[in-house]
Chain A
Amino acid sequence: VQLVESGGGLVQPGRSLRLSCAASGFTFDDYAMHWVRQAPGKGLEWVSGINYNSGNIGYADSVKGRFTISRDNAKNSLYLQMNSLRAEDTALYYCTKDIETDTVNIMGDDAFDVWGQGTMVIVSS
C-alpha cells in the first residue's frame, strides 16, 4: 500500500499549483481520500477530503473557495488544485487514505491509515 505525492514547489503569492497523489496496493475507488498539511515546525491540519465516488467533498475554511480536490479512479490518482496561493499555505502536503471503505460523507470522524511522504509547497515572492 503506497501513496506518492508530487507537484510541490516554489510559487509566488497569488499563483496556482496542482498536487497529485498516485495510489497503489489497494482498491483506490473503495476509499475516501484526503489532503493534510503541515507548516514548517507546526502541527497537522486537515485540508480537504473526497469520498470514494467524488459525490461528497469537504474543505477546511482556510482553503475553501481557493482549493479544489478531485480524483480519477481509473488512474488511481488524487489531486489538489490550489489557486490564489498565500504565504500561509506554505507547508508539506500529505495525501492520506481513509480507514473505512465506501465512506459516503467524508465529514466524519474516520481515521487516516495510510500516508504518503508529502510534497512541499513554498509560497513566496
Chain B
Amino acid sequence: QSVLTQPPSVSGAPGQRVTISCTGSSSNIGAGYDVHWYQQFPGTAPKLLIYGNKNRPLGVPDRFSGSKSGSSASLAITGLQAEDEADYYCQSYDNSLRGSKLFGGGTRLTVL
C-alpha cells in the first residue's frame, strides 16, 4: 500500500479529458512538498511529465497539466490520444520518521 494513493486505472475515449489523482497526507503533499508526474510505456523507462506540481519539461505537450491542492495532486490530460495509453506515477517526499522519496502506486490509462 503506497503512501501516495493513485487509482489503479482510468480510461477515456479519444478527445476526452481524464484526470489522475494522487492523494497523500500532512507528512508529504500536505506539508508543501512538490509533486511530480512520470509517464511510462511498457518496456521503457519512466519519463518526467510534470515537475514542481505544474511545470512541463520541454517537449511535453500542453495537453498535460498538473495541479496541487491540500494533500492531493492531479494530472489532467485533455484531448486524449491513443498514444497517451501508459502508466502514470506521482512522486513526492515524506518527512515522517527518517523521510523518504515516494512514488504513488501508479495508474494505468486506457484509451478506449
Q: How many residues of B sit at the interface, in one of the four size bands? A: 20 to 34
Give the chain A neighbours of B33 by CB distance below 8 A: 108-109
Size band of the A side of the interface? 20 to 34
Residues of B within 8 A of A36 (CB): 46, 103
Q: Mark A49-68, 1 if CB is under 8 A from B, else 0.
A: 10000000010110000000
Mind listing 28 A-B residue pairs with CB under 8 Å?
A36-B103, A43-B2, A43-B104, A44-B46, A44-B91, A44-B103, A46-B100, A49-B101, A58-B99, A58-B100, A60-B100, A61-B98, A94-B46, A99-B48, A99-B51, A107-B93, A107-B100, A108-B33, A108-B93, A109-B33, A109-B92, A110-B34, A111-B34, A111-B91, A112-B48, A113-B48, A113-B51, A116-B45
Chain B positions near chain A (C-beta within 8 angstroms): 2, 33-36, 38, 44-48, 51-52, 57, 89, 91-93, 98-106
* CB-based closest 6 A-B pairs: A109-B93, A111-B36, A46-B101, A109-B33, A111-B51, A115-B45
